[in-house]
């Protein structure tokens, strides 16, 4: 049995981004899009508000990732989307850790984290 370390905040946020990327740039968690009876009152459901916040956060993370060096982009895409890492594998963990720090700094500058 493998023991996993707890996820950091940035890793949780990157998982949200990965869900958003996998589902056509919207977060899909299997919840109904509306709670019954609420839409008639002009109020959105809690799930809708949560999905809107997650999508907004994912767009901000995506904007930061697009601005990363290719080595860092490749490491993030490999770790969270399962794509091929395009550089020598011996640098993968270094690039992944650096990318997480850069993304965290970018989110902090935007007042998100």
Distance CA(76)–CA(83), nearest Å, equals: 9
By CB neighbour count within 10 A (0-12 exposed, 13-18 middle, 19+ buried), where does 72 fall? buried
Q: Confirm whether 3 is domain-assigned.
A: no
User: What is d(CA 54, CA 28) in angstroms, rounded to the nearest whole number?
Assistant: 10
Residue 87 counted as domain residue: yes
Instruction: Tell me the pLDDT band of 3, cut-offs 50, 70 and 90.
Output: low
Distance of CA 1 to the CA centre of its chain: 27
Looking at the structure of the chain, the number of domains it has is: 1
Residue 28, in any domain of the structure: yes
* Structural domain span for residue 92: 9-109
More confident residue, 8 or 45: 8
Res 91: pLDDT: 97
pLDDT tens-digit map of 30-68: 444 444 444 444 446 766 666 667 788 899 999 999 999
Q: Token pair of 83, please? A: 């794509």
């Amino acid at each position: 049995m493998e023991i996993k370390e707890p996820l950091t905040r940035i890793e949780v946020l990157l998982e949200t981004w990965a869900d958003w990327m996998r589902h056509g740039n919207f977060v899909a968690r299997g919840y109904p899009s509306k709670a019954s009876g609420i839409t008639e009152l002009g109020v959105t459901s809690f799930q809708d508000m949560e999905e809107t916040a997650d999508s907004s956060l994912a767009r901000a993370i995506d904007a930061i990732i697009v601005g990363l060096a290719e080595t860092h982009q490749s490491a993030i895409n490999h770790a969270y989307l399962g794509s091929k890492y395009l550089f020598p594998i011996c640098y993968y963990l270094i690039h992944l850790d650096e990318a997480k720090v850069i993304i965290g700094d970018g989110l902090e500058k935007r007042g998100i984290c």
